[in-house]
Amino acid sequence: MNDIRSQLALFDDFEPFSGHVPKGFLVDFLGCLTDATFRTMWGVDPDQVGNEHVATQRPTVASGEAFFEAVDWFAAALDARDSYTMITLGACYGAQAVDAFRALQRLNPMPAKLVAVEPDPENFAWTQRHFRDNRIDPSRHWLLNCALSDSNRPVLFPVGAPGSGSNNCFSTNHASTRLSYAQFLRDDPHLAERVSNLILEGDTGVEVDLAPGYDFRTRVNFVSAVTLADVLGPFDRIDLLEADIQQSEMVVFPPGMDLVKAKVKRAHIGTHGIEAHDMLLQAFSTRRFEIVFNYPPDSDYETPWGSFHVGDGIITARNLDL
């Protein structure tokens, strides 16, 4: 576990991207382009990037979670045989799927299917755009505009703040939270309008700031939900399962873990809170998954290859029976 030395060797012979980048785009070491408008909330100005020659570098441990994500893209690509399936849960604008696909193209080309699950409508549209910007036809893959839950009952989800990666339907669906939303509607002087919007559009009218200080304003709406079994069911084997679902892993993974064991070769999970981290670590460990990386959330780490901080925890698990 946490054997960084051996994982660094994955990048030894890899030539990182170097070349011209179009105006308004960012590029990573694999050569994947990202429309800078996806990153404006993090201070990126689309008018100030691109239209220049860029020489990128191989991933380093100091980049934290991005390094461990890249390790899993490479390891899953090199381990694939005949065909490749990658699933990203909480896709945001699809960066994980596109980078995993590019790693496969560079290292071990073969037919591939990408699956991206993302509930926010604007993020979902950005995912389609991000695919096209990187010469991937989204119609040949499986993109689902819905949330993940433990049932198919519609969930309350904070819609808005695209690109933030902070939308969280775990907290919005607690019984106490739903009750507070109901009280908000009862007390609203425009109750009739609120009820109409709720029935016609699924819009509760409740506004939520996802991260105070960042102005990540959202509206709580009802959105469709799928389960982990719904997503994994059509596939015989999944080479890489990636999840960053903002603590919803607490409800999404437990009922689907036996199916994960049967189908998933490698999983990379971003965990949110120590309770979620420990629960998933136990779930993988007791099902004969090798724990490749285990870094609990909200912590700083020192290694001989660099120090790094993780906000989201990191679990990489490799299925010893596939």
pLDDT in tens, the chain (322 residues): 899 999 999 999 999 999 999 999 999 999 999 999 999 888 899 999 999 999 999 999 999 999 999 999 999 999 999 999 999 999 999 999 999 999 999 999 999 999 999 999 999 999 999 999 999 999 999 999 999 999 999 999 988 877 777 788 888 888 888 898 888 888 888 888 888 888 888 898 888 887 777 778 888 899 999 999 999 999 999 999 999 998 899 999 999 999 999 999 999 999 999 999 999 999 999 999 999 999 999 999 999 999 999 999 999 999 999 9
Beta-ladder partners of 52 = 21
* Token duo for residue 145: 């505009």
How many residues in the chain?
322
DSSP-H helix ranges across 121-273 = 121-133, 175-187, 191-201, 228-232, 249-252, 257-263
In 3D space, the residue among 127, 169, 129, 168 whose CA is nearest the CA of residue 145 turns out to be 127
Of 176, 156, 262, 274, nearest to 218 by C-alpha is 156
| Residues 73, 239 contacting (CB under 8 angstroms) | no
What residue type is 280 in one-letter code? Answer: L
Distances (CA, A) of 188 to 174, 206, 221, 229: 21, 11, 17, 39
pTM for the whole thing?
0.93
Rounded to an integer, what distance in angstroms lies between the CA atom of residue 207 and that of residue 106?
Answer: 44
Q: Which amino acid is at 86?
A: M
Structure tokens at 171: 């907290």
Percent helix, strand, coil in the chain (nearest 5)?
40, 30, 35
- DSSP 8-class letter at 129: H
